[in-house]
Structure 1
């Protein structure tokens, strides 16, 4: 397992449980206690968690794991989600893509599906598709967020108000029947809402770790989205509740 993947799993685990100990993490990651302690110290030095005697705590806060640490997490599931998402895009469509690891996988598939226009605020997605023939790329400006590689804020929102996309794939940090779609950052949430307003259809692409989860900033209620694509490991009761709210749910 790559160090970046270990760090992502540690942060997700401690965020979900509130506190963990070294032995627990060593079993989870199948590594030595010494490796876990080095990982915890690395993450503590970057203020992503707080070290304790024999473990770490997060104080019950749902934290944002930087995107570079999430890239390899559940990648097969994200790729399966992306394949289902790409099937929804006809040649010649104008496609909105917000930032995220799963939307990045969608972008990688769209470049091989014939002519398409991609409108995105994610600089990593722009770098992935800019050299591909058949892709017309529109990058939304704004203030850069290093955690998500996204451009956000008033400039992004104003620009999106002048566009219309046929379909937008929305990355979220949480989606639930009670709180709708949420993310960690309020500026990112506002920019995501601008994508929602400018699109003819919203498809949320989210792996099982996002289902039933609620984070800090609300993007939109479930009534603003039409489709959720997730993986087969997502909790069935949460998916049923989302479907009952009128959202088409696909678990791949």
Structure 2
């Protein structure tokens, strides 16, 4: 297992449980306790968790796993979601794209498919698409967030208010029937909300770990969402509640 993947699993596990000990992580990751301690020390220096005697703790709502630690996690699921999501885009469409690892997979597919206009605030997506001749790329400015590689804030929102997209692919940190779509950062939530407000159709792409989850800042209620694409690892009861709230749900096979 790569070190970055190991760190991602540690952060997700600590986030889900609120706290773990070294022995538990050692069994989970199949590595030595010394390796786990080094990993926890590294993540503590990055202020991603707080070391305790024999383990680590963190607030489950407050933790945001940086995008570089998430890129390889559940990649087969994200690629399967992206294939289904990209199939929803007609040729020549104007497509909004927020940040997120699953949205990035959608962007890669659209870039290789034919003429499309992509409006994004994600600098990593922009960097991948800028040399594709069939992509008319529009990059939204704003304040850079290192955790998500997104440009957010009043500049981004003002630019989005002056433009319209046929559809937007929205990356979220959580989606539930009770709380709608949520993310970790208030500025990011407001910018995501501006993407949705200026779009004819908003599609959430989220792997199963996001379904039923609630994080700090609310992006929008489910009434603002036109479609959810997720994978077959998602909790069925949560998907049923989202569908009952009026959101069409597409569930893809991840294997």
For the superposition of Structure 1 and Structure 2, which TM-score range results when normalised by the shorter chain? over 0.9
Q: Retained in 1: the 8 A contact 2:82–2:103?
A: yes
Q: Which residue of 1 aligns with 2:191?
A: 191
Q: Show the counterpart of 2:218.
A: 218
Q: Aligned residues, how many?
A: 252
2:13 is the alignment partner of 1:13: yes
- What do residues 97-143 of structure 1 show as CA deviations (whole Å, max 9, x unaligned)? 00000000000000111100000000000001110111000000000
Q: Secondary structure at the match of 2:106?
A: helix
How far apart are the structure 1 equivalents of 2:78 and 2:61? 25
Structure 2: stretches of 5+ with no match in the other structure: none
Aligned-residue RMSD, C-alpha: 0.8
1:62, distance to aligned residue in structure 2 (A): 3.5
TM-score, normalised on structure 1?
A: 0.98
1:129-140 matched pairs, under 5 angstroms? 129-140=129-140
Unaligned runs of 5+ in 1: none
Q: Stretches of 4+ moved more than 4 A in 1?
A: none
- 1:123 equivalent to 2:113? Answer no
Equivalences for 1:1-252 in 2 at 5 Å?
1-252=1-252
Do 2:21 and 2:56's aligned partners in 1 also have CA atoms closer than 8 Å? yes
Give the distance between the partners of 1:60 and 1:106, measured in 2 at CA: 28
Q: Work out the CA distance in 1 between the residues paired with 2:151 and 2:53.
A: 39
Query: Could you give the per-residue CA deviations for residues 173-202 of structure 1, whole angstroms, max 9, x where no partner exists?
Result: 000000000000000000001001100000
Secondary structure, counterpart of 2:136 in structure 1: strand
Q: Equivalent residue of 1:25, what SS?
A: helix
Q: Is the 8 A contact 1:96 1:118 kept in 2?
A: yes
Separation in 1 of the partners of 2:47 and 2:114? 44
For 1:31, what is the secondary structure of its paired residue?
A: coil
> Greater shift after overlay, 27-36 or 58-67?
58-67
Aligned CA distance change for structure 1 residues 120 and 31 (closer, same or farther; 3 Å): same
SS in structure 2 of the partner of residue 241 of structure 1:
helix
Shift in alpha-carbon separation, 1:161–1:246, aligned structure 2, 3 A: same
Task: Classify the secondary structure of the residue corresponding to 1:164.
Answer: coil
- 1:205-229 alpha-carbon deviations (Å, 9 max, x no partner): 0011110000010000000001000
Distance 2:195 2:154 in 1: 13
The alignment's TM-score, normalised by the length of structure 2, stands at 0.97
Matched residue of 2:64: which SS?
coil
In structure 2, the residue corresponding to 1:155 is in which secondary structure? helix
Contact kept, 8 Å, 1:21 with 1:56, in 2: the verdict is: yes
Work out whether residues 16 and 62 of structure 1, in 8 Å CA contact, stay in contact via their aligned partners in 2: no
Return the alpha-carbon distance in structure 1 between the equivalents of residues 160 and 113 of structure 2.
24
